[in-house]
Amino acid sequence: FCIGIALSEKKAFIIPLRHYEALKRQIINFFIEGVQEKIMEELRRLFSYEKLKIIGHNFKFDALVLLRDLGVDVMDKVYADTLVYHHLLKETPPHDLKTLITLYTPFSNYYKEMREVFVSKKEKWYHYVDFNDLYRYCAYDCCSNYYLWKELDRRIKQLDLWQKNLSNKVNKLIEEHKKLNKPYITPYYTYFQVEKLKELEMEHYRILFEMEKNGLPFSRSYVENLKEEVQYKMKEKQDELSKLAGKMINWNSPQQISKLFKELGIDSPKKTPKGNPSYDEEALKILAENGIEIAQKLLEYRKLLKNYTTYVLFLENYNYRLKQTETEDIVRLSCNINIAGTETGRLSTSNPAFHGIPRDNLYRNMVQAEEGWLIVSADYSMADLRMLAGYSNCKSMIEAFNSGIDFHTLTASLIFNKDFEDITTEERSIAKSINFSIAYLTSAYGLAQRLNISVKEAQDFIDRWFQDKPEVRYFINVLISQYDKVEEGKEAKFINVFGRMRRVQKVRKFYEDKFTGKRKLNPEYSHKIREIVNFYPQSTVADALMVSLIRLKRKLIEKELKPFCKFLLTRHDELLLEAKKEKVDEICEIVRWAMEFPIPFANCQIVIPVDFTIDKM
């Protein structure tokens, strides 16, 4: 409807573009024909101004609208984004503009007034709203966000100074310990501080916009065939379930399933909040582990159904957003890439959630390149475990990774007390589960559930895992100690090597059971400790991938290869690209250089190797 621009926190200008005509019941141009086009041309000229610097909030959205309406890409002119800034200062939501304005600016009262104007209206508020109110609302948004940017930037500078002072102290201690020939294990060593991280995040933000513009290329024919295949598999599972049940029911109906299980004499291990038997995923898993075949088959059916409705029907559900390519069978679909979607710095996706596409090739092969292009997947190898080795300076892990030995087989050799060559595929698979479970502080009970073994066996596996990795246990104990030092209700602060922070509220470690009077460990405390330990590998891999993207884009531009490479998506420890066939080897060489850079820790440097998959898919 309009564009709002503020040059300070005190004055904003509104450029009306459209309005809702109640008599015609449609949205029409604000200005008469001819004048409207002149306004648009002036806006194009404004947004093309070379020295322009734009400050916004979640500006990727605005940039997409400007690209659609004016045909100008302004993302390279985005200087600051208050959503990005706030996520660096406080990683937990909310990050929406109205909340931040209420928390950090003197403009909050205005939004209380405007709430009555908009919230009381029906869903299509523009049918009823006074457009002067809309323009005032937009103007306040702009002025308050200008104020918000200055305030958040001031706080980032303060935090940067605190981090630098802390880093200086830590670096002195590291040097003192080096003289004593001892490693200094600390969760506070940083290679960057938050001011540098802010600059990287903004450069990263512009690359994410590029990914959103590109979207993922999907093969229509493959998706149609997949649709039929999954439908057939679901019908097979329904038939298997009906055979086990002895009758046909609607396997999508919780009520009919509950009634059937009652008839079959199968009690649920869980109850709903209303006290009825629950047959959700957790309950079915417990029943399946106890040998109830129908529960296992129902789990398999539900997984197929979820994949079908969520991923196979992508193109149908988002048909209005598909873009046809020059290759007849290939269409492109974009998602929202959320830079503030998680508390660890990992990205998330929505509308649709591309990160959720199963890693199974059956579903991944939906993504196929246009004619003359190839899909390149660059995947970090055991990134989380390598980061844990770096933070803890674990000698045995670092030596194993540097030697190129298969780390999961090595772990299996340790926990099963067998020679490396005698390890079976199943034992390696168990070791892989143990490696990642322990890295994320899974309890013996959780590991027992995952591997279907006794708690005693699981604890034995954990103890054996730590036998040659005492540094990892020490690092985890350092993190717990730092958390325990904080007063209850206050925040404990943790920093990764790139300067990203995680603030975790201190909760009580024990509580008194009101029935027995005995002291028990607070489950929330255990959850907080896992959050802290998980933060270090997860956030560091996410930031390493961010740095890789920036290095990659700069090098591609330098080598004049950027037109031959489309950035598609990053997912946890994977980068997805589309590259021209004739340039793919050259581009992969640059990708390897960009991703395999040394990450400096307090006592060592770690390089995460990259595995490539290159295909039409």
The DSSP-derived string for 373-436 is EEEEEEEESSHHHHHHHHHHT-HHHHHHHHHT--HHHHHHHHHTT--GGG--HHHHHHHHHHHH
DSSP 180: T
Q: Which pLDDT score, from 0 to 100, does residue 465 have?
A: 93
Residue 120 has pLDDT above 70, yes or no: no
**What pLDDT score was predicted for residue 24?**
84
617 pLDDT above the threshold of 60: no
pLDDT grade, residue 291 (50/70/90)? Answer: confident
Of 271-275, 289-293, 518-522, 581-585, least confident by mean pLDDT is 271-275
- Look at residue 249 and tell me whether its pLDDT is greater than 80: yes
Mean pLDDT lowest among 61-75, 112-126, 144-158, 464-478: 112-126
Cα 36 to chain centroid, rounded: 41
Q: What's the angle, vertex CA 182, arms to CA 176 and CA 186, rounded to 5? A: 75
Cα–Cα distance between 299 and 362 in angstroms, integer? 19
Residue 298 has pLDDT above 90, yes or no: yes
pLDDT value at position 117? 67
pLDDT tens per residue across span 197-215: 999 999 999 999 999 999 9
Token output for 183: 């490693």
301-323: average pLDDT: 94
pLDDT at 489 over 60: yes
More confident residue, 124 or 389: 389
SS3 call for 121: coil
Cα dihedral sign, 296-301-304-307: negative
Q: Is the pLDDT of residue 504 over 70?
A: yes
Query: Which pLDDT score is estimated for 22?
Result: 82
Euclidean distance between CA atoms 252 and 370, whole angstroms = 37
What amino acid is encoded at 214 in this protein?
A: N
- For the segment 418-428, what is each residue's pLDDT rounded down to a tens digit? 998 999 999 99
Task: Give the model's pLDDT for residue 304.
Answer: 95
* Residue that has been written with the tokens 């322990």 in this structure: 438
**Cα distance between residue 143 and residue 131, in whole Å:** 18
- Residue 592: count other Cβ atoms within 10 Å of its Cβ: 14
Of 111-120, 153-162, 249-258, 381-390, the poorest mean pLDDT is in 111-120
Instruction: Give φ, ψ of 317 to 5 degrees.
Output: -65, -30
d(CA 159, CA 491): 15
Backbone conformation region of residue 541, classed left if phi is above 0, alpha if psi is from -120 to 50, else beta: alpha
Q: Quick one: pLDDT at residue 122?
A: 61
> Which residue type does 85 have?
Y
Q: Provide the mean pLDDT of the chain.
A: 93
Over pLDDT 70: what percentage of the chain? 98
Give the residue from 548, 550, 549 showing the smallest Cα distance to 595. 548
Which residue carries 């503009």 as its tokens?
97
Q: Out of 275-289, 518-532, 536-550, which region has the weakest mean confidence (pLDDT)?
A: 275-289
Percent of the chain with pLDDT over 90: 80
pLDDT (0 to 100) of residue 121: 58
